[in-house]
Amino acid sequence: MRGLYILRSDTNRRSMQVGGNLLTPAIVPAGGYQDRCGGAEKLTATVDSRDGRADLAVVADLESRPSPSAPFRSAAARAAIRFAGPLPYTFDYEAKTGSIVVIKANRNRWQPHPVSVQVKRMNFFEHGGFAGSEPVLANAFHVADVDYGWERGSLRGWDGSIR
């Protein structure tokens, strides 16, 4: 199962925080906005986290179609590109049962387009276990008009068996 474990997710909507935390306890309040500039070809996205640990400011060039970046130049690294795009599953750990919670996303009209991104500010990697690391942007996508939802989560053992 290809997917990801959410370390943190910031939202500016209280309903998203409350609802999302029913699935995973990683959603925290933040201020954020998006703005189109230079016509429709540039998109600016900004997140101002309340605790200052996940501030972000990026500008995406929606007209660009970049090739895979630095992490995927070697043959061995190219295999990792399967994990650099939108993934179907989200995982969380449930300590009470020692189980993995698996939640599958459903997406209609999901047409991700790789875009070039200029990172103006990103301080998530300055804190906690990532402090001192040098992150490399593997890929960036733009998606629009997505019908998105989640299936009911299931519990699984470390061996993948359904509990």
The pTM is what? Answer: 0.70
The pLDDT value recorded for residue 157 is 93
Residue-wise pLDDT for 106-135, tens only, equals 888 778 888 889 999 999 899 888 899 988
Least confident of 3-12, 37-46, 76-85: 76-85
Q: Which of 33, 24, 87 is nearest to 58 (CA)?
A: 33
The predicted-structure confidence for 51-102, as pLDDT tens digits, reads as follows: 888 899 999 999 887 765 556 666 655 666 666 566 889 888 888 889 998 9
DSSP 20-55: HHTT-TTEEEEEEEEEEETTTTEEEEEEEETTSSS-
